[in-house]
Amino acid sequence: MVIHLKNTTPEATANEIGQQLQASRFKEGDHFVLVAPFALKSLPESISQHVEASWPMDSDIQLASKSYKNELRSIKWGNTEIGGKTQNTVVIAGPCSIESWEQIESVAKLLKSLNISTLRAGCYKPRTSPYTFQGLGLEGLKMLAEVRRQYGLNIITEVKDSSHIEEVIEYTDIVQIGAKSMYDQSILRRCGEIRKPILLKRGFGTTLQEFVQAAEFILSGGNPEVILCERGIRTFETKTRFTFDLCGAAWLKQHTNCPVVLDPSHAMGYAYGVPDLAKASVAFGCDGLLIETHPNPKSAKSDAAQQLDFEAFTNLMTHMQKIAGAVGKQLI
Ligand code: PEP
Ligand code: MN
């Protein structure tokens, strides 16, 4: 049950009501929002006198649900807006990992030339094997900060575990929570306390219900800026890296109020399939796309098989512009 208290309600009263209802509570603008794990048919007078509005939902999906807020959340960073009333399809692109200054600077120049505002690159990589490249860590974050300063790009990078979450929060514009970290409640709760957009990736063995519940951890902590990212799930199929769940993405669009970003790179796992999937994603009407590109994919230290070289990425942008125009969207 979601409850908006009147803006005259003192904090102590909000806390008392919150405890009575076993509710999460946070401040939104000038009023408190409570989210109780159950719905009451009628609120006792001691509570109702403080209530501005209430949504008697009894579900694990509340704040992210269209039954609570029907309009798509608008999330902004720098001059970029995703969701809300826009028809934007926001392209987020860059290498899987930052590997060197030369590498990331070449990507920054490419993005600038294509009018793309947001650069992705991992510094702490959640690798499947402990014996492969684990990322440049803090050194990488510092380079990304320098890219932001020199090229005016916004940065998204991933938090892998709670040991470096404060660093990532400090250095990045958007925090990415990866598929493998999506269940880490210390990360989810910390991301609920901050005011930066969070791009939450769906785990590859995660149901849509579990995915949105993870988003609820962030939203009920008081951070309204959650973007959901479909990046492929594991099925019986082994010829592609994962299975791109567009049905799931359609469900998210229908039932949740969070912008949906699609990531064909990690879903496909092979560069040859990424352009067609990216074009299909634009036609699908996603709010954003996450695409990996690298100056020399063959030499990439992570996800080498799926990253587009600059030529393929530049061609793809031209095609996606046309498709976006045809479906009434604006590729930015
Ligand atoms: C990534 O974005 O490079 C990444 C590791 O993605 P995922 O968490 O979806 O595997
Ligand atoms: Mn990757």
Q: Are 202 and 258 in contact (CB under 8 A)?
A: no
Rounded to the nearest angstrom, the distance between the alpha carbon of 201 and the centre of ligand 2 is 12
Residues 78 and 48 grouped into a single domain: no
Residue with tokens 């892998």: 160
Return the axis-axis angle of helices 185-193 and 208-219, rounded to nearest 10°. Answer: 40
Q: Look at residue 58 and tell me whether its pLDDT is greater than 90.
A: no
* Bridge partners, 103 (sequence order): none
Q: List pLDDT tens digits, range 175-191.
A: 999 999 999 999 999 99
What backbone phi and psi angles, to 5 degrees, belong to 265?
-65, -50
Instruction: Say what percent of the chain tops pLDDT 70.
Output: 100
> How many CB atoms are located within 10 Å of the residue 315 CB?
12
Rounded to the nearest angstrom, the distance between the alpha carbon of 147 and the centre of ligand 2 is 19
Q: Is 198 exposed, middle or buried (0-12, 13-18, 19+ CB in 10 A)?
A: buried
Beta carbons within 8 Å of 184's beta carbon, 6+ residues apart: 161, 162, 177
Instruction: Please report whether residue 173 resides in a domain.
Output: yes
The span from the CA of 127 to the CA of 198, in Å, is: 21
Residues 193 and 319 grouped into a single domain: yes
Q: Look at residue 63 and tell me whether its pLDDT is greater than 90.
A: yes
Q: Look at residue 54 and tell me whether its pLDDT is greater than 90.
A: yes
Ligand 1 atom with minimal separation from the 182 CA: 8
Residues 129 and 47 grouped into a single domain: no
> What is the structure's pLDDT at 222?
97
Q: List pLDDT tens digits, range 78-127.
A: 999 999 999 999 999 999 999 999 999 999 999 999 999 999 999 999 99
Q: Is 8 exposed, middle or buried (0-12, 13-18, 19+ CB in 10 A)?
A: exposed
Residues 85 and 204 grouped into a single domain: yes
Q: List pLDDT tens digits, range 84-96.
A: 999 999 999 999 9
**Closest residue (by CA) to atom 3 of ligand 1?**
96
Model-level pTM? 0.97
What band does 323 get if pLDDT is binned at 50, 70 and 90? Answer: very high
Ligand 1 atom with minimal separation from the 176 CA: 2
Rounded to the nearest angstrom, the distance between the alpha carbon of 147 and the centre of ligand 1 is 21
Instruction: Please report whether residue 40 resides in a domain.
Output: yes
- CA torsion, ordered 293, 88, 172, 79, to nearest 10 deg: 120
Q: List pLDDT tens digits, range 241-279.
A: 999 999 999 999 999 999 999 999 999 999 999 999 999
What band does 59 get if pLDDT is binned at 50, 70 and 90? Answer: confident
Angstrom distances, CA of residue 23 to CA of 32, 34, 53, 229: 11, 6, 15, 27
Exposure string (b/e) for 281-298, b if CB count within 10 Å is 16 or more?
Answer: bbebbbbbbbbbbbbebe
Residues 142 and 220 grouped into a single domain: yes
Domain count, the chain: 2
Q: List pLDDT tens digits, range 155-168.
A: 999 999 999 999 99
What backbone phi and psi angles, to 5 degrees, belong to 292?
-90, 130
> What is the structure's pLDDT at 294?
98
Instruction: Please report whether residue 51 resides in a domain.
Output: yes
Residues 113 and 232 grouped into a single domain: yes
Q: Ligand 1: which of 99, 266, 308 to mutate, judged by most atoms within 8 Å of the beta carbon?
A: 266
> How many CB atoms are located within 10 Å of the residue 331 CB?
20
Domain boundary among 55, 85, 100: 55
**Closest residue (by CA) to atom 4 of ligand 1?**
178
Structural domain span for residue 245: 74-331
Residues 39 and 123 grouped into a single domain: no
Q: Look at residue 12 and tell me whether its pLDDT is greater than 90.
A: yes
Residues 228 and 97 grouped into a single domain: yes
Closest to 307 (Cα-Cα) out of 238, 241, 239: 241
Ligand of minimum distance to the alpha carbon of 125: 1
* Bridge partners, 155 (sequence order): 119
Instruction: Please report whether residue 65 resides in a domain.
Output: no
Instruction: Please report whether residue 157 resides in a domain.
Output: yes
Rounded to the nearest angstrom, the distance between the alpha carbon of 7 and the centre of ligand 1 is 41
Residues 154 and 275 grouped into a single domain: yes
Q: List pLDDT tens digits, range 37-50.
A: 999 989 999 999 99
> What is the structure's pLDDT at 139?
97
> What is the structure's pLDDT at 62?
97
Instruction: Please report whether residue 64 resides in a domain.
Output: no
Instruction: Say what percent of the chain tops pLDDT 90.
Output: 98
The span from the CA of 150 to the CA of 7, in Å, is: 43
Handedness of CA 265, 271, 273, 279 (dihedral sign): positive
Residues 178 and 42 grouped into a single domain: no
Instruction: Please report whether residue 155 resides in a domain.
Output: yes
The ligand 1 site (C-beta within 6 Å) comprises 96, 122, 126, 178-180, 201, 231, 266
Q: Ligand 1: which of 97, 128, 158 to mutate, judged by most atoms within 8 Å of the beta carbon?
A: 158
CATH number at residue 49: 3.30.70
Residues 35 and 95 grouped into a single domain: no
Instruction: Please report whether residue 66 resides in a domain.
Output: no
Residues 27 and 172 grouped into a single domain: no
